[in-house]
Amino acid sequence: MKTAVLGTGMVGQAIATKLIQLGHEVKMGSRSGHNEKATAWISNNGPAASQGTFAEAASFGEIVFNCTKGEIALEVLKQAGNENLKGKILIDISNPLDFSKGMPPTLLIVNDNSLGEEIQKLLPDTHVVKTLNTLTANLMVNPQLVNNGDHDIFLSGNSTEAKEKVSALLQTFGWGADHLIDLGDISTARGTEQILPVWVRLYAAMGTPMFQFKIVK
Ligand SMILES: NC(=O)c1ccc[n+]([C@@H]2O[C@H](COP(=O)([O-])OP(=O)(O)OC[C@H]3O[C@@H](n4cnc5c(N)ncnc54)[C@H](OP(=O)(O)O)[C@@H]3O)[C@@H](O)[C@H]2O)c1
């Protein structure tokens, strides 16, 4: 499948590398389309790996991952273009973190709104599915690295069909079907984005990002 990864940071690199390993084509998107980190990633990932601007990547992908910095995600997705994303699934991994006042970060959008909802409003013809934003990049694509994969992630999105397709893709990443919790429509992203203030404090307390949430009942 042709896929796009918007973002050249640790999340973009982890997702893009996993997609290549699974046999997909990946175009990594950045501001310039000639990004140094993307160039290095391509040289390690063979002919199915390519790069372009955010718009070129969005146009290329049948499914698109948003792995950009939360504070500029809406601006990046405007650049990616409504037309290029129309009718497609956008997997949103971004968090609306504000580091301008130092550590720990605060949330730019909170309580009665979420970045996931703002992205869905910006792209009304795109199926936004928020997921994977509550754990560190390496674990997103190697869930078995903690507790043999016995831990949970969440999905938020308005389209049940899109969430089913994303769940199937996540299972190819190594996630068990019973560890994917569908929370409901995109407004449920308020909950998962607001996990981040807890996540950053757990990271500080434990000194490692290699931990995860497990829901028991
Ligand atoms: N790091 C993690 O383990 C983790 C875990 C869960 C969720 N997340 C979320 O995933 C997202 C990506 O995180 P990350 O750590 O991989 O990378 P990041 O440093 O947060 O973001 C990297 C991307 O943001 C783009 N960017 C930065 N400033 C920009 C600007 N002013 N205008 C346009 N684009 C800009 C960069 O574009 P260029 O390529 O052009 O430089 C780059 O592609 C974030 O929203 C983060 O909160 C991260």
CA angle 114, 118, 123 (to 5 degrees): 145
CATH code: domain of residue 40: 3.40.50.720
In a domain, 159, yes or no: yes
| Whether residue 210 has its Cβ less than 6 Å from ligand 1 | no
Domain hosting 165: range is: 2-206
Q: Please report the pLDDT score of residue 114 as a whole number.
A: 99
Alpha helix locations (H) across 65-151? 73-80, 82-85, 115-122, 137-141
| Shortest-distance Cα residue to atom 29 of ligand 1 | 72
| Mean pLDDT, range 101-129, rounded to an integer | 98
Q: Please report the pLDDT score of residue 66 as a whole number.
A: 99
| Mean pLDDT, range 173-194, rounded to an integer | 98
In a domain, 153, yes or no: yes
Q: Please report the pLDDT score of residue 171 as a whole number.
A: 98
| Whether residue 74 has its Cβ less than 6 Å from ligand 1 | no
Q: Please report the pLDDT score of residue 144 as a whole number.
A: 98
Distance 71 CA to ligand 1 centre (A): 9
In a domain, 216, yes or no: no
| Whether residue 9 has its Cβ less than 6 Å from ligand 1 | yes
| Shortest-distance Cα residue to atom 45 of ligand 1 | 94
Question: How remote is the C-alpha of 88 from its chain's centroid?
Answer: 15
> How many domains does the chain divide into?
1
In a domain, 122, yes or no: yes
